[in-house]
Every structure is written in structure tokens, then in C-alpha cells.
């Protein structure tokens, strides 16, 4: 009898699975029909993008207010999606600050594409997802990758949710997942997926499509919003759309190489990273600068009676781990209790997960607390890094305007430097006994070049603070030691 029941149960399970699959196929077919059964589509309008994980600024608003705030406008934006490739490209002109603390608007072009090779779902998900999070690309992927259907509620509305996974696996070995939310009118209102990010963990990527309407014979959304990790990433106000354009192959040509950038860029270049050799420079008793040479992100370690403080965590994870190992050699038998983060830009946070796994508390300016807390305490199931293997809750201690760490013999002072164009959450560290000032991104100009507005903004702040320093150390390593005199000279003092 039990064997009979088992056979019945297996059959019922198989029937249910087939029914769900068939239901998904019907949902996909109805959605494709509602969108016009297109081979390709182009749409255009006014867009806004960000330099991801950077503080926002644009030509009309030079001073950063926060993570991705303000966003950067790009008028005359155009996107084409070719479902037969499949492929996609988008392009739009910008006239925004060039970055690095500059406040002079510079003409540039945002450009992003997914080539047919990148659209292969056995290839890295980071390169193809910009195609598949569009309603049209999602449905094409759902057809080819055995989508399943379920019912779910989002933002107070009932949806049929189609779910499928690309062939490629995450570094952890786990499958990626992509969901498309189909409304009662068979329209895809939202698409979401997750991507492993060294700072933001299992980063949620959500694209919403609202205000669907007929643009002269083709259905398209009038508003597109993409967020990553809950933060603004990309937006489009669509003003025109066209089905099956005859010039689909040449509609969005790539810009000159020097002008490329913007939302949805591809993965970093391949190849194994070069091994890192850490060298140390003694700045005083129990105080060392750690570097890996040209191109390094330098750190300073400071020995207190019972613990060590690291100023900046290095970047990326490999450098952070190398600095932890070097710290334990130089100052054995004391835990790294604190790591100061100068500011939360992506090139200054890469080593933080390694320090969180080590048990260190992050010291950061108050304006960065929400970003780092949300990012570093997001699950890391897609990653295979040291924090994913040794999960710990990120502990954060904030500085409003000034904070002093001292044990009676050792003192480190931290100051919020504001206003400056580059970030609203910048900290500098001052060691009064050693007369050392440690900072990130206030890089001195090359000989004969003028200082940018970011560096110029620092000097009056330092004059007001009246810090008596001789050595001027930047996270971005300098070819030779730099001094207060070098900083003053750079700004014409």
C-alpha cells in the first residue's frame, strides 16, 4: 500500500511541476503578445545615472549631498534592444564633473552594451543582466530557461511572478535568480535579480517599469527606474519608442573610447592579480605606513596599549588581507580593534569585508553610517570571500565632526572635512605626536599642474583646525614622501 501511495505522490508531483511549467509558458506567451511580439525596440528620452558607490554631483550641483545624490543628467538618451541577437546598447551625452574632486563640467558620453556573446547565460551574469532585466529581455530569457510561475504581492499589488536562472553560477556555487512581475494586463512591471558585490553583498538589482502606454504602435513604459542595493542607479523618462527599427544594428553607435562610462559597465579586466608584497615605513614608535608600491592603496597602523587601529583597510580584499597579516607581524598579540574608513567610495571600501571578518569596528563619518551598515550587513550567499566564509555583523562607530582616540600615551584625532566636492562623509586622521596627517583622495597635483577644487577646499579647513603636521600621507600612494609644505605650495601658499 505504501508503495502505491509513493507512486501516486511522485505522479502528482510530476503533474504539478508540469502544470506550473505550462502555466509559466502561458504567462510568457501572453506577456510577449501584450508587448507586441517584438523582434527589437528602441526608446529615447531624458536619463539620469550615477558613478556607482560614489557620492553624487553634477554640472548644476557640484557639492555631494550623499550616496548617488545628486544624480547626473543625460538628455538625448537612446537605447536599442535587439531580441534576435540578443543584444542591447544605450548611449547619452553628459556634461558633468570628471570626478576625483574636479568641479569643471566635462563633455562625455555614457555608453553600455550587452553583446550577443555576453548575453549567453553561461557567461558572467554581471555582463548580461542589463539585457535580461528589461521586460523584453526577461521574457526572452524566461522562454529559453524553463521559467516557473508563482503568485506574489509587491507594493500592494498581486502579480504572477516568473522565475528563472541563468546557467552560470555565482562564485559561491549558488544559482543566480531573476524574477519578473507580470500584472493583470500581462505587462511586466518590475524585474529583479541579485549580484554578488564585494561591499554590498547579495546586491539586490531592481528595475521598475511604470506608465506603460502606446507610443505610436508600440507599448513601452514612460518611466524606468533601476536601483542597486536599494540606492538610486539609473532612471529614464521615456518620450518616444519605436518597434522593430530598420537601423537596429547602427542605431546606437559606440562613442570614442575616451568618452565611455556610465551605468551598467562591464566586469573588470580578466587575468589573475599580481601577488602583493607589503613593505612598511616606520613613522614613530608603534606607527607604520603599509604600502604595496606603485598603485597602492596605503594604510597606517597605530599601536595602542591593548589593540591596534588601522587607518583605511586597503583595497581590494587581497590587499586588506595582506595588511592584516603584516600588522600581525609588526605588532603581534594585539587585536585590530578599529579600522577607519576615510570615505565610502568603492575604491576605498574593498578591504573592509576582510577587516569585518577580523572583528574590527569600522570608524566612519556619520553621513556614511547607513550606506556601510546596510551594505556590509547584507547576506553574502553569492560570494566566496573571507566575510562570506566567516560571517560577522559589521560594527560601526561614527564621527560627527571630531573624535579623539587615546589611551594616555597614544592619540589619534579624527575630523570631518566639509564642505568639499568629492564626498560629504570624508574623515582625516591626525597623529599629533608624530605630526602626521592621513587622508584619502586629497591627492596633490603632478608637478606643474594646478590643484583641483577638492584639494583647494581642504587647506582652509586645515588652517581653521590649526593642525601641526609635517608629513602628508594619502591613501593613494605617492612616489615620494609628501609634506605640509608640498600641500601649501600646491594651492599657491
The SS3 of residue 142 is helix
Whether 294 and 477 have beta carbons less than 8 Å apart is answered as yes
Confidence of residue 127 (pLDDT cuts 50, 70, 90): very high
Per-residue confidence (pLDDT) for residue 309, from 0 to 100: 98
> Could you tell me the maximum CA-CA distance found in the chain, to the nearest angstrom?
94
Q: What pLDDT sits at residue 86?
A: 95
Q: Which of 23-27, 153-157, 234-238 has the highest mean pLDDT?
A: 234-238
Q: How do residues 151-164 score in pLDDT, each as one tens digit?
A: 999 989 999 999 99
- C-alpha triplet 462, 416, 418: angle, nearest 5°: 70
Give the DSSP letter string of 302-327.
EE-SS-EEEES--SSHHHHHHHHHHH
pLDDT of residue 51: 86
Residues 358-406: tens digit of each pLDDT: 999 999 999 999 999 999 999 999 999 999 999 999 999 999 999 999 9
Q: What is the pLDDT of residue 105?
A: 83
Q: Is the pLDDT of residue 81 over 50?
A: yes
Res 20: pLDDT: 52
CA atoms of 301 and 378, how far apart (whole Å) = 28
Q: What's phi and psi for 274, nearest 5 deg?
A: -70, 145
Amino acid at each position: 500500500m505504501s508503495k502505491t501511495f509513493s507512486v501516486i505522490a511522485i505522479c502528482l508531483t510530476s503533474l504539478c511541476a508540469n502544470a506550473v511549467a505550462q502555466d509559466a509558458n502561458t504567462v510568457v506567451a501572453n506577456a510577449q503578445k501584450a508587448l507586441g511580439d517584438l523582434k527589437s525596440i528602441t526608446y529615447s528620452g531624458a536619463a539620469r545615472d550615477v558613478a556607482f558607490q560614489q557620492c553624487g554631483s553634477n554640472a548644476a550641483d557640484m557639492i555631494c549631498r550623499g550616496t548617488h545624490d545628486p544624480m547626473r543628467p543625460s538628455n538625448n538618451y537612446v537605447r536599442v534592444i535587439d531580441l534576435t541577437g540578443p543584444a542591447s546598447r544605450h548611449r547619452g551625452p553628459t556634461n558633468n564633473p570628471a570626478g576625483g574632486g574636479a568641479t569643471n563640467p566635462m563633455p562625455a558620453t555614457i555608453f553600455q552594451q550587452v553583446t550577443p556573446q555576453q548575453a549567453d547565460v553561461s557567461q558572467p551574469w554581471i555582463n548580461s543582466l542589463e539585457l535580461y532585466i528589461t521586460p523584453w529581455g526577461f521574457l526572452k530569457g524566461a522562454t529559453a530557461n524553463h521559467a516557473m510561475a508563482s503568485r506574489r504581492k509587491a507594493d500592494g499589488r498581486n502579480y504572477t511572478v516568473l522565475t528563472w536562472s541563468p546557467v552560470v553560477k555565482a562564485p559561491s556555487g549558488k544559482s543566480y535568480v531573476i524574477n519578473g512581475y507580470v500584472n493583470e494586463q500581462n505587462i511586466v512591471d518590475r524585474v529583479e535579480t541579485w549580484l554578488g558585490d564585494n561591499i554590498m553583498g547579495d546586491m539586490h538589482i531592481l528595475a521598475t517599469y511604470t506608465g506603460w502606454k502606446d507610443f505610436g504602435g508600440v507599448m513601452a513604459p514612460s518611466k524606468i527606474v533601476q536601483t542597486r542595493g536599494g540606492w538610486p542607479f539609473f532612471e529614464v523618462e521615456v518620450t518616444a519608442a519605436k518597434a522593430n527599427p530598420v537601423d537596429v544594428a547602427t542605431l546606437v553607435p559606440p562613442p570614442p573610447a575616451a568618452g565611455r562610462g556610465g551605468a551598467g559597465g562591464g566586469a573588470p579586466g580578466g587575468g589573475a592579480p599580481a601577488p602583493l608584497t607589503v613593505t612598511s615605513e616606520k613613522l614613530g614608535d608603534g606607527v607604520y605606513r603599509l604600502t604595496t608600491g606603485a598603485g597602492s592603496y596605503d594604510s597606517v597602523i597605530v599601536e595602542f596599549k591593548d589593540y591596534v587601529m588601522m587607518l583605511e583597510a586597503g583595497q581590494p580584499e587581497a590587499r586588506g588581507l595582506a595588511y592584516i597579516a603584516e600588522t600581525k607581524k609588526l605588532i603581534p598579540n594585539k587585536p585590530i580593534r578599529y579600522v577607519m574608513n576615510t570615505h565610502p567610495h568603492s575604491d576605498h571600501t574593498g578591504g573592509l569585508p576582510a577587516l569585518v571578518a577580523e572583528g574590527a569596528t569600522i570608524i566612519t563619518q556619520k553621513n556614511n553610517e547607513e550606506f556601510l551598515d546596510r551594505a556590509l550587513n547584507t547576506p553574502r550567499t553569492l560570494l566566496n570571500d573571507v566575510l562570506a566564509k566567516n560571517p560577522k555583523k559589521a560594527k560601526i562607530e561614527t564621527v560627527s565632526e571630531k573624535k579623539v582616540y587615546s589611551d594616555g600615551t597614544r592619540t589619534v584625532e579624527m575630523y570631518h572635512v566639509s564642505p568639499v566636492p568629492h564626498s560629504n562623509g570624508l574623515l582625516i586622521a591626525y597623529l599629533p605626536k608624530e605630526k602626521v596627517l592621513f587622508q584619502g583622495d586629497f591627492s596633490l597635483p603632478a608637478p606643474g599642474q594646478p590643484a583641483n577644487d577638492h584639494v583647494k577646499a581642504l587647506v582652509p579647513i586645515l588652517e581653521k583646525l590649526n593642525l601641526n603636521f609635517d608629513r602628508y600621507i594619502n591613501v593613494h600612494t605617492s612616489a615620494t614622501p609628501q609634506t605640509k609644505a608640498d600641500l601649501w605650495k600646491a594651492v599657491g601658499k
